[in-house]
Amino acid sequence: MKLWLLDADIIIDLLSMGVFDSLVKNHEIHVVSAVIGEVKYFWRSGKKISADFRKNYVDQNLIKEVNATMDDVKVLLQKLPPIWRSTIHSGEIESIAVLIKHPDLIFCTCDAATIKTLPIIDLSDRGISVEAMLRQSGLGNPKKLLERHTEKHFRDNLNKGKEEKIYYVLKDGHT
């Protein structure tokens, strides 16, 4: 059983694709508080559906809610170049802070800025694309896999983050 830490976009997309409940049945899913508040609805078959995420998943103990402390967030922000701090949303900041603290979690995101951040803080190996997560979970590739869900999108942004880290280290002398 893998322990997944999911971003809001991933949850919404998996709910829309109809595979989220299968993922929940087979794995331990962790979600930070900020992300729980972001998952309000999803679309399926052209209909907007209320997620009631806290009620349907967190309160039912199907999803584990995790939190980052202010100290956890401070540690993360000290590791990031100033420009990165403004490109990452609060849910991703809290998720990455939790990821640093919990080495058993794997973070699934499709946000390009967040993926690029992983190499900066030496967590490239702790991130995963939706495509790879679904494959590892035995759920295959849904027919409606978007470009941002692909392994290629994830790897391309991870490589950009590695290049930006090299520039950051050379330019400012950080390690």
* Per-residue pLDDT reduced to its tens digit, 11-20: 999 999 999 9
Predicted local distance difference test score (pLDDT) of residue 169: 63
DSSP E strands in the chain: the ranges are 3-6, 28-32, 41-44, 47-50, 63-66, 106-108, 127-128
Which residue's structure tokens are 């694309």? 129
CATH dotted code for 3-172: 3.40.50.1010
Q: Locate 137 and state its tokens.
A: 């979970």
pLDDT at 175 over 60: no
Backbone angles phi and psi of 106, in degrees to 5: -115, 130
pTM: 0.89
CB distance 90 to 77 below 8 Å: no
d(CA 132, CA 138): 10
Residue 66 binned pLDDT confidence (cut-offs 50, 70, 90): very high
Q: Greater confidence, 150 or 143? A: 150
Percent of residues, the chain, with pLDDT higher than 90: 77
CB distance 29 to 21 below 8 Å: no
